[in-house]
Amino acid sequence: PELRRSCLYQATVFAGFCAVWTGVALLLTGPVYGMSAKAAGLLALVNAATMLCTPVAGRLVDRRGPDRVNLWCFVVVGVSAVVLAFGGLGGAPGLTALVVGTLLLDIGMQSGMVANQVRIYGLGADARSRLNTAYMTCAYLGGTVGSWLGARAYGRFGWTGVCVLVATLTAVALARHVLTRVPPLPAPASSKHAGWSPS
């Protein structure tokens, strides 16, 4: 169950991540901005700085646990979808929204990956290779589907459709996370446990 949960988390978040980067290339080269494909590359270069957040995420997982970090990551990715929506405005405000939104998205995705890997590696040292193979396969399948959905969302609904897609994928993962954290209901007490027994 913990492996399946981690796979779902990363697949949905990485799907949103890939959907955004597919849509960003279309947005920047489209009529709103009219830039070349190099603009998307420069935006990705700026986001390379988010790799510095990985050690911080690792320390947070050590102190707070992977579940708490996952929750924070879902919130960050959800906020990034809202910020990214303003990227459709164009001009300097739109570019600022794209930079800030993609930075938040990258931080959320990478930090979530750290939390998920810590969780699955704790399932057994003798099976880490198999666990990681299953996890990464699901993550990249999610990314592939995300790119496909992102292109179609952009083609039909524009940049707003891509942002709604990211928010929806994040909501799916967050709902699964919240349901996991709900403690099971106690079993009904029998007459014996209630202190009464038939004579």
CATH number at residue 113: 1.20.1250.20
Q: How far apart are the first and last CA of the chain?
A: 44
The letter for the amino acid at 188 is P
In a domain, 129, yes or no: yes
In a domain, 19, yes or no: yes
Q: How far apart are CA 182 and CA 74, in angstroms?
A: 17
Q: How far apart are CA 133 and CA 128, in angstroms?
A: 8
Check residue 146 and give its pLDDT. Answer: 97
Q: Mean pLDDT across the chain, nearest whole number?
A: 88
In a domain, 63, yes or no: no
Structural domains of the chain, count: 1
pLDDT above 70 as % of the chain: 90
In a domain, 135, yes or no: yes
In a domain, 142, yes or no: yes
In a domain, 98, yes or no: yes
Q: Are 153 and 162 in contact (CB under 8 A)?
A: yes
Q: How far apart are CA 92 and CA 138, in angstroms?
A: 37
In a domain, 190, yes or no: no
* pLDDT at residue 77 tops 90: yes
Whole-number Cα distances in Å, 22 to 44, 79, 97, 131, 151: 12, 19, 17, 29, 6
Domain encompassing residue 6: 2-36+68-181
pTM for the full predicted model: 0.85
Q: How far apart are CA 50 and CA 9, in angstroms?
A: 20
In a domain, 167, yes or no: yes
Per-residue confidence band for 3, with pLDDT thresholds at 50, 70 and 90: very high
Tokens standing for residue 42: 């420069």
